[in-house]
Amino acid sequence: MQSLILASILMLMGFQTGVIGLLADIIAANRKILEDVQYHARKLDYDREKEEK
């Protein structure tokens, strides 16, 4: 009975680790997209200011 409880706990911990890994991957992809958006927004602002001068 104890081994069944231990196996259940370890399986749950493994599942949680996998979910956390997926979340970390999604957060990293989101960060990259945000960095690209920020870069392009700043570039547009810079180009507009350059044209005005």
Q: Rounded CA gap, 44 and 36, in Å? A: 12
Its pTM surpasses 0.85? no
Which residue stretches of the chain have pLDDT < 50? Answer: none
Place of tokens 């960060």: 31
* Residue 43, amino acid: K
Q: DSSP secondary-structure letter at 16?
A: H
Structural domain total, the chain? 1
Domain that holds residue 52: 22-53
What's the pLDDT score for residue 18? 98
Q: Rounded CA gap, 21 and 25, in Å? A: 6
Q: Rounded CA gap, 13 and 19, in Å? A: 10
Q: Rounded CA gap, 14 and 41, in Å? A: 41
Question: Do the domain assignments include residue 32?
Answer: yes
